[in-house]
Amino acid sequence: MLKGKHVILGICGGIAAYKSVSLLRLLVKAGAEVQVVITPAGKEFITPVTLSALSQKPVVSEFFTANTGEWHSHVDLGLWADCMVIAPATASSIAKMANGVADNMLITTYLSAKSPVFVAPAMDLDMMVHPSTRRNLDLLRSYGNHIIEPESGELASGLVGKGRMEEPEKIVEVLDRFFATREDLQGQKILITAGPTHEKIDPVRFIGNYSSGKMGYAIAEAAAARGADVTLVSGPVSVQVSNPAINVIRVESAREMLSACEEAFPQSDIAIMCAAVADYAPASVATSKIKREHDEIPVITLVKNPDIAATLGHEKGKGQILVGFALETDHELENAFDKLGRKNLDMIVLNSMRDAGAGFGVDTNKVTILTSDNRRLEFSLKPKTEVANDILDTILTLK
């Protein structure tokens, strides 16, 4: 899958730079066209002559060539690449990437990259577990970067622990797997809902919930990256899509979301109901702000909102796949299985408010996927960007 791909290989100043030579050889052998970008410190560990001989390209390290003044455009490199791999990625470079400190050619190229970025950390174990490093890696994950976790073993310091850069063969496998799934949803029309709904009480107040929309948006981005034609029906959120091909329909209330879904669903192959739709709405909406100075405390009568997933489940045609979500606080599996059958879903994604790091407003999630053919798949706590692909991978097994 790497044949003909344009790969930027970023090399930082760490002892694991010697592994980058093998990684470069393997990428070229797989048919990739590789441009090496190395930090000034990286050249202390491995020479540009060696890297240039293997890549058949001049190695880029500085913003311009000193003797000719030739400018090396990080913007052009970012547009050229199908992916960028930074291996080894040192603690210093990871911190710069996470915080946008563009003081060398490698970091400016990273900040200009339009393609997926893979980061293979390598450092001593104390640096690896330091809170600042873990925070910076979490930030990179939240930006959509792919972290290739280091191995445990003997380190340059003589200590034994986690910090060894993953072996070049494994890194190539990760890239190959990534490109193998890049277009597995090509031609599929996918409808996704995300975020909360807001049900008006008066012009300034509403009934809603804490949903940030991050999970639904992550699924939309992942599906679009894998070739799908994505329509995202979004409640009020601050999240934005980065892929301009995603068709975003913004709504406010549950009834507006239902209307948008009913219009898009007949043309959809897959529908993923990730939104946290308010179950109830005020029976009537005040035309002006309800003032607290009034003697009587207002009584708000609620009515049930339409069940969007159940409505689409009733309308589902042959060959269509419908996926629901269940965020539960107790009797999680029992409630999720009930929704799976009652709403005529093909699959439901369950997460529990009991699990730390899962649920609303965070960048991670821990899910259990239940399918209509009685499978139960449990996943560990992961960034929502990775959970999105777990969900899409499972959906593909239903077809």
Secondary structure letter of residue 69 according to DSSP: -
**Average pLDDT over every residue of 335-354:** 94
Tokens of 394: 């499972």
Domain assignment present for 387: yes
Q: Give the CATH number, domain containing residue 241.
A: 3.40.50.10300
**Do 200 and 287 lie in a common domain?**
yes
Q: State which of 180, 209, 243 marks the end of a domain.
A: 180
| pLDDT digit string, tens, across residues 203-228 | 999 999 999 999 999 999 999 988 89
Buried b (16+ CB within 10 A) or exposed e, 373-384: eeeeeebeebbb
Do 63 and 116 lie in one domain? The reply is: yes
Residue 295's pLDDT band, with cuts at 50, 70 and 90, is low
Together in a domain, 92 and 13: yes
CATH number at residue 76: 3.40.50.1950
From 180, 214, 230, the end of a domain falls on: 180
Is 389 an annotated catalytic residue? Answer: no
Question: Residue 227 corresponds to which amino acid?
Answer: G
In a domain, 68, yes or no: yes
359-381 tens-digit pLDDT: 787 888 999 999 999 999 999 98
Whether pLDDT at 69 is above 90: no
Q: How far apart are CA 166 and CA 86, in angstroms?
A: 12
The arithmetic mean of pLDDT across residues 80-88, rounded, is: 94
Which residues does residue 86 pair with via DSSP β-bridges, in sequence order?
10, 119
Residues 339 and 313 in one domain: yes
User: 3-state class of 214 per DSSP?
Assistant: helix
Residues near 92 by beta carbon (within 8 Å), at least 6 away in sequence: 12, 13
Q: Which domain holds residue 44?
A: 6-180
Regarding whether 148 and 63 lie in a shared domain, the answer is yes
pTM: 0.68
Domain end call among 180, 211, 228: 180
Out of 67, 99, 136, 209, pick the active-site residue.
209
Quick one: pLDDT at residue 276?
A: 95
